[in-house]
Amino acid sequence: MRVLVSVDMEGIAGVVHGDDVIPGHSEYERNRKLLTAEANAAVRGVFAYDAAAEVQVTEAHASFRNLLPELLDRRAELLRGSPKPGGMMAGLAENTDAVLFIGYHGKAGTPRSVMAHTISGGTVADVRCNGRSLGELGLNTALAAHYGVPPVLASGDDTVAAEAAEVAPGIRSVVVKRALGARAAAMLHPDEACSQIEHAVPEALASREDVCPLRFDGPVELEVQVHRPRMTEHALLVPGMELADGCTLRYQAPDFPTAYQVTELIATLGAF
């Protein structure tokens, strides 16, 4: 069995504020340990299900340099650094048997959701594929589904659990904190969060055929809404890119992987 573990940071137990996940702030170094612990819990869960598994852990937060490599379970391969092919889903391939999403958060605009955003909170206001609004979880779910890979588990706050149920019916969720607002939560002790993740993974892997993830077949009309008109200017240099309105870029992608890559490109260009 080959399993990909995509690890974001805003959704881990203990994190409630932007300062908690940004290098240079006092809480960041401690939270890197909590992040690595939750990733390890997922890895242990995979090996509890299949002792001969191949596990890749791919960094999915900010510059993709947050996990502490020396503390990561030595049985897993770490995909680290930016840019890396596939971004948050680097390592995904047709021979992957399942994907786990650890430390994920709600999409931009989700009410009362801890640090909800999509890709770049300072740039992207919404992403729509064929008219459907998607956050990072939805985009990554659809990318996995394109390659026939089931997303089987998501961990984070209660709002991302609800989002997971919408984009991947049948997926298992581990709620490590209950959102009280954008910067407040009632949360599990970090050790308890790890315990619940570890025990949920084998059940999720065993039920992977029951998951029905969102999937886009054929061309995709991509719309990316940014926060300010000037954030569209660099992206409009891309051939085929159109301006739907002052803050919304539109692109006709031949397939979902292309739409996914163009979304990442718009988020990157909009920051300049």
* Residue at 224 is within a domain: no
| Cis-peptide into 23, omega within 30 deg | no
Please give the residue range of the domain that contains residue 73. Answer: 2-115+136-210
What is the H or E stretch that residue 181 is in?
A: strand 172-181
* Residue at 266 is within a domain: no
Residues comprising the binding site for Zn(2+)? Answer: 8, 10, 61, 105, 136
The pLDDT value recorded for residue 121 is 87
Tokens of 10: 């805003």
pLDDT in tens, the chain (272 residues): 999 999 999 999 999 999 999 999 989 999 999 999 999 999 999 999 999 999 999 999 999 999 999 999 999 999 999 999 999 999 999 999 999 999 999 999 999 999 999 999 899 999 999 999 999 999 999 999 999 999 999 999 999 999 999 999 999 999 999 999 999 999 999 999 999 999 999 999 999 999 999 999 999 999 999 999 999 999 999 999 999 999 999 999 999 999 999 999 999 999 98
Taking the complete model, does pTM exceed 0.75, yes or no?
A: yes
How many whole angstroms separate alpha carbon 129 and alpha carbon 133?
A: 7
Distances (CA, A) of 134 to 23, 138, 152: 27, 5, 18
* Residue at 247 is within a domain: no
Render pLDDT for 7-52 as a digit per residue (tens, 0 to 9). Answer: 999 999 999 999 999 999 989 999 999 999 999 999 999 999 999 9
* Residue at 219 is within a domain: no
Q: What is the DSSP string of 78-137?
A: EE-SSS-TTGGGTT--TT--EEEEEEE-PPTT-TT-TT--SS-TTTEEEEEETTEE--HH
* Residue at 228 is within a domain: no
Query: How many domains are there within the chain?
Result: 1
Q: What is the CATH number for 174?
A: 3.40.50.10780
Decide the pairing of beta strands 220-226 and 124-129. antiparallel
How many whole angstroms separate alpha carbon 209 and alpha carbon 220?
A: 26
Catalytically active residues, by annotation? 117
* Residue at 21 is within a domain: yes
* Residue at 206 is within a domain: yes
The pLDDT value recorded for residue 16 is 98
Instruction: Check: CB of residue 134 under 8 Å from CB of residue 142.
Output: yes
* Residue at 240 is within a domain: no
Instruction: Check: CB of residue 113 under 8 Å from CB of residue 187.
Output: no
Bridge partners, 9 (sequence order): none
Q: Which amino acid is at 136?
A: E
Decide the pairing of beta strands 54-59 and 124-129. unpaired
Closest alpha carbon to 136 in 106, 176, 178:
106
